[in-house]
Amino acid sequence: MPDFDRHAHAPELALESLADPQDGGARYVPPGMESHPMFGTSALGTSAAVLTGEPVQALVADMGTGLIAPAPVHDEAWWRAHTTGADIAPDGDRIVETLIPEYSDAPLRRSQATGHQRHRGDLAATVAGLGAGAWVATALMTGWDGREEPGGWLTLGGSVAAMLGTYLALIAVLLASRLPWLEREVGHDRMIAWHRTVGPATLLLITAHVVLTMIGWSIAEGVGPIAELTGVILEYPSMMPAFAAFVIMLTLGLSSMRRVRRKMRYETWHVAHLYFYLAILLAYAHQVVFGQMFTEHPAIATAWLAMYVLVFGTVIVCRFISPVVFSLRHRLVVDEIVEEVPGIVSVYIRGRKLDKLKVKGGQFCAWRFMTRNHWWQAHPYSLSAGGNGEVLRITVKALGDHSTSLRGLKPGTRVIAEGPYGVFTADKRHSDIIVGFAAGVGITPLRALMDDLPDHADVTLIYRVRNEEDLALRAELDHAASKTGWKMIYLTGENGQRPFTPEFLTQLAPRIQHSDVFICGPGPFTGRILTALDTLGLEDRNIHYENFAF
């Protein structure tokens, strides 16, 4: 696909009918194609009339070469009958289509860029499962002899819950570290999904540890559980930080509930979750002081410490050292801010040796802009154009404080980036028949992904927005269509006017059942399309999407 042009402008939407003096009637000419050999401008008059199409307007882009006209083009109906995208939706969503003449009916060859299948996710899950089993077995073996004492079974259960809960907490931290070895196969969104699955289990196990242990100890001491809890907190110095760690985990667990998280700003959520690291560290001293398996078995204590060092060392390298090294090597700075449409801006970022940056269209980075108001937070934004060796670009919609403030960045502002992350990339496809679905600012990773597709690919992009004025990056999409023959379909209107039923998807993209489908948009948008694709029988390996919500 051709490189993007930050100063490109979308052509006007119009259908023109130019008078033909030879025929004594009107000959239809798509706008911008008056000079094309197919239409022979010398034979056309100069008077023009604008034909408005409601609910449909069409924009026809010059394909360049291979355009064949078996007969003179006399009207819009003929043009629609001999071009792709001729299907017109009934009342509901307005469809603004880029109609490109079909130049070949031959099936496209299968992609050679599929790549070999890797199983790092399975390997990681296997290793994590074996580790969990090993630590549970260790807790059972070292505490087994005390099971017959008063409250012994409860205390043993509390020890097992503590070991497994802390182990899962470390796994949750590792999953959030964006470990490149794993992330490059399974994707950041799946790692975060696993993190969210492990999190509640961790909280339940740690809570079970507190409850079971306090009841077991209270039975052994002959006092009530509350009195036992109060006593150990006040009597043993290491218990106070352990209890603080438990309160932190409970608070973070409540803040991670879906209903609560939706009401939180990203900045608040991000800072709050940094305290999870503190909670795990606070709990460590309590474990090595009170844990029988650690106090009586130095080798086990050493292995436990090594696991802590491994996890937190990975976090430090992946989340702190690597981004700093990355930014020092490439010296990223803001180059320009361009407003694409109202409420959406593109940030162009320049640097050195960007041609050696292993970035793919569809990936994202966590961007930290070094200003007084931005340096302390890194936000994930997708690249909106493939790397061209000279400049990187993100396109951001004003949805929160951070995204809204980006339009005020000054050229020359230093940038620290983490990444790139994500597997929403063109090399994951299994064919050269591509159907893309984008909603709103979800167009950005799809736009970048298109840069990595071959020109001969059969591409249909369905771009859903509320109003035509919201069509960000439209000039670039239309330019790609004009040069490659790709089909762009712009759907406008209120949500729900045009349900994404299997029939409607097939109408928009007749070859969708034989394609790779890429989806980027809000959860409900993605969910409706996934449901329709399941009905159409598409295999999971041919459906690509990532969840970018925090």
Give the pLDDT confidence of 138-176 residue by residue, as tens digits: 989 888 888 888 888 998 999 999 999 999 999 988 888
State the pLDDT confidence band at 28, using cuts at 50, 70 and 90. Answer: very low
State the pLDDT confidence band at 516, using cuts at 50, 70 and 90. Answer: very high
Mean pLDDT for 227-252 is 84
Which DSSP helix (H) or strand (E) runs through 543? strand 543-545
Pairwise CA distance, residues 168 & 198, whole Å: 6
Please, what sign has the CA dihedral across residues 392, 396, 400, 404? positive
Give the pLDDT confidence of 459-478 residue by residue, as tens digits: 999 999 988 888 999 999 99
Which pLDDT score is estimated for 447?
Answer: 93
- What is the CATH class of 1-107+429-550? alpha beta
State yes or no: pLDDT of 242 exceeds 90: no
Interacting residues of 517 by C-beta distance below 8 A, sequence separation 6+: 434, 435, 436, 437, 529, 533, 538, 542, 543, 544
Helices 152-176/298-316 angle, 10° precision? 30
Q: Which residue ranges make up each domain of the chain?
A: 1-107+429-550, 120-326, 331-421
Which pLDDT score is estimated for 1?
Answer: 57
Mean pLDDT for 60-67 is 27
For residue 28, what are its two tokens?
């239809």
State the pLDDT confidence band at 3, using cuts at 50, 70 and 90. Answer: low
State yes or no: pLDDT of 125 exceeds 90: no
Pairwise CA distance, residues 12 & 60, whole Å: 10
State yes or no: pLDDT of 375 exceeds 90: no
State the pLDDT confidence band at 6, using cuts at 50, 70 and 90. Answer: low
- 415-421/364-369 β-pairing: antiparallel
Which pLDDT score is estimated for 5?
Answer: 54
**Overall pTM surpassing 0.85 (yes/no):** no
Which pLDDT score is estimated for 24?
Answer: 36
Task: Give the per-residue SS3 of 86-103.
Answer: CCCCCCCCEEEEEECECC
Which pLDDT score is estimated for 548?
Answer: 60
Question: Which residue pairs from 4-8 have beta carbons closer than 8 angstroms and sit at least 24 positions apart in sequence?
Answer: 4/385, 4/393, 4/451, 4/473, 4/476, 5/475, 5/476, 5/479, 6/336, 6/338, 6/346, 6/348, 6/393, 7/338, 8/475, 8/476, 8/479
Pairwise CA distance, residues 477 & 32, whole Å: 16
Look over the chain and give the mean of its residue pLDDT values, rounded to a whole number: 76
For residue 312, what are its two tokens?
């937190």
Pairwise CA distance, residues 428 & 417, whole Å: 24
Are 451 and 370 within 8 A, CB to CB? Answer: no
State yes or no: pLDDT of 318 exceeds 80: yes
Mean pLDDT for 480-491 is 90
- 25-29/16-20 β-pairing: antiparallel
State yes or no: pLDDT of 113 exceeds 70: no
State the pLDDT confidence band at 384, using cuts at 50, 70 and 90. Answer: very high
Are 93 and 492 within 8 A, CB to CB? Answer: yes
Pairwise CA distance, residues 123 & 223, whole Å: 47
Dump strand ranges (E) for 387-451. Answer: 391-397, 415-421, 433-439
For residue 110, what are its two tokens?
């299968």
Question: What's CA 11's distance to the chain center, in Å?
Answer: 30
- What is the CATH class of 331-421? mainly beta
Q: How buried is 249 (Cβ within 10 angstroms: 0-12 exposed, 13-18 middle, 19+ buried)?
A: buried
